[in-house]
Amino acid sequence: MFPTILQLGPLTISSLGVMIALGFFLGSFLIWQKVREEHFEEASIMDGILLVSITGLIFSRICYIILNWANFDSFFSLFDLVKKSGFSWQGALLAGIFTLVAYCKKKKWDFYKIADLSVFGIVLGLILSKIGLFLNSLSFEPIFLIEAVLFIIIYRLMLIFDKNYRTYEWYKNKRGEINSGFLFLSFLAISALIHLVSNIFQNPSFQVLKSSQFIVNFLIILISLTLFYFRSGDHSLTISLPWFTKKKRVKVDNLRFKAGMEAKEAKQ
């Protein structure tokens, strides 16, 4: 498509590099704006954004090399490792999460609250990076454009969740309170599902089920849904089977009847 925007001698400005840089600056600004609205210290916000971004970028590259080792000639070929571009979103995500957890622990911040506020900036960065991958491909690769459109839909979905999830009864605890993390865990599961399906479409065979990328995406979905379940308030509301509800109600009534009879006998 359009891998190179401008070339001045040895200096080459790629479309992927421009879109990644644009995604970083716009996404970082959006995160800074959201977190600042919650009255966190501005200097600490910027330090956290830079720390998480740099760590995520480094481990994203390392993870890409590990997951695509067959495409590289040798570990000792430094030129080959640097020349062949590519980043792994799983590496950036996992490294970013662990770095943010450590940073929030140091600052005594609620990790899930900061993660919820960061979702919109992360999705914006992913949208622009997917567009960059589409422009950087040598041939027409619609999968990256489709992923960009899907992440635009996710951005809109996160806006709807942000407006309404505090009213979801099944997410509230018995005191009517809600736990932070709804937006982040929702984004985590949906984005991993998109990448998992994308891998299947790019490699439509049973071998993709054994690939490292498929396994990592599947584990991210499983872990995020498990955390989502434990972060939800009233777990009993997630069980809607009529026979289970009826059986549970009968058991409670029997216990109440037995307790009432014992109390009556004690008075006599």
Q: Tens of pLDDT along the chain (268 residues)? A: 677 777 777 777 788 888 888 999 999 999 999 999 998 988 899 999 999 999 988 888 787 777 666 665 554 444 444 455 567 777 888 899 999 999 999 999 999 999 999 999 999 999 998 998 888 877 777 888 999 999 999 999 999 999 999 888 888 877 788 889 999 999 999 999 998 888 888 777 767 777 777 888 899 999 999 999 888 875 554 444 444 444 445 454 555 555 555 555 655 5
pLDDT at residue 109 in the model: 93
Cα–Cα distances (Å) from 213 to 28, 143, 222, in that order, read: 27, 16, 14
pLDDT at residue 29 in the model: 94
pLDDT at residue 161 in the model: 94
pLDDT at residue 69 in the model: 67
Rounded Cα–Cα distance for residues 118 and 34 (Å): 7
pLDDT at residue 70 in the model: 63
Instruction: Return the closest-CA partner of residue 16 out of 97, 152, 133.
Output: 133
Question: How many Å separate Cα 90 from the centre of its chain?
Answer: 9
pLDDT at residue 237 in the model: 44
pLDDT at residue 234 in the model: 59
Domain ranges for the chain: 4-233, 239-268
Half-sphere exposure of 93 (CA within 13 A, CB side): 21
> At 14, phi and psi to the nearest 5?
-90, 155
Rounded Cα–Cα distance for residues 115 and 110 (Å): 9
pLDDT at residue 187 in the model: 95
pLDDT at residue 242 in the model: 44
pLDDT at residue 258 in the model: 57
> At 15, phi and psi to the nearest 5?
-65, -35
pLDDT at residue 254 in the model: 55
